[in-house]
Amino acid sequence: MSSVLLVASWSVAMLVIGWSGQLYILPYAVVLGGLLVVLHRMRPYRTHSERCGYDLIFMGYLWAVVGVRCRPFRWSAAVEYALNIAEHVGFALVIGTLAYLLLLLLVQWPHRKALIAAIICFNLLGICIEFYQDAMSGSVLQGFDGDAWKDVGMNALGSVVLMMVLWRGHGRSVAVSGAPKNDRGRGISEADRA
């Protein structure tokens, strides 16, 4: 996805959020846009062969959230519940991947260290978001309700899926200095390739 198309897609999503009045989504969309700008300023990401795929996933998720949260109609309670579960599992996959790429490319941590840190940071972020949402609704001191615990659980489930997908060697396709790295951050030797 070209940078111009990425910015245009993000800008239209911001307009839809503003037009619909669902302003509580704005901080999430702004942070996602900011993180994408950071990624696009890094040469390893800009030249990565899967960059367009990652960009589509990130923007696709933003548009899925905008579509679910900003639509003027509601479905049955069961469908709404399923959409919320899918949104939280998707949140874990997308934001976890984004955090992983930032730690791998910006901080230049080894693959597994970046993945574990991204999972921990993401889940802490998910808990903080639940506190933020409680504060916005005026019930911050009452503790998490059943819906908040479900959201935290779905975030954890998405994190497990992300861990399973990226744990074994996937990080080798994202090279920090142009040459694939092993889990210790060194170049892959012939012994590592075997």
Give the pLDDT confidence score for residue 190 in this predicted structure: 40
Domain layout of the chain by residue ranges: 1-73, 75-194
Give the pLDDT confidence score for residue 59 in this predicted structure: 92
Q: What distance in Å separates the CA atoms of residue 70 and residue 12, rounded to the nearest whole number?
A: 13
Task: State yes or no: pLDDT of 163 exceeds 80.
Answer: yes
Residues 159, 123: contact at Cβ < 8 Å? yes
Give pLDDT tens digits for 65-99.
999 888 888 889 899 889 988 988 988 899 999 99
| Structure-token match 């959409």, residue found | 83
Task: State yes or no: pLDDT of 16 exceeds 50.
Answer: yes
Task: State yes or no: pLDDT of 152 exceeds 50.
Answer: yes
Dihedral of the alpha carbons of 93, 67, 127, 39, in degrees to the nearest 10: 50
Q: What distance in Å separates the CA atoms of residue 148 and residue 145, rounded to the nearest whole number?
A: 5
Q: 72 is written with which tokens?
A: 């003027």
23, HSE (Cβ side, Cα atoms, 13 Å): 2
Centre a 10 Å sphere on the Cβ of residue 10 and count the other Cβ atoms it contains. 20
What is each CA distance from 61 to 22, 31, 88, 104, 169, in whole angstroms?
A: 17, 13, 11, 21, 25
Which has the closest alpha carbon to 72: 16, 124, 28, 33?
16
SS3 188: coil
Which has the closest alpha carbon to 144: 158, 130, 125?
130
Give the pLDDT confidence score for residue 160 in this predicted structure: 92
Give the pLDDT confidence score for residue 110 in this predicted structure: 93
Give pLDDT tens digits for 23-74.
888 888 998 998 888 888 889 888 888 888 899 999 999 999 999 888 888 8
Give the pLDDT confidence score for residue 140 in this predicted structure: 60
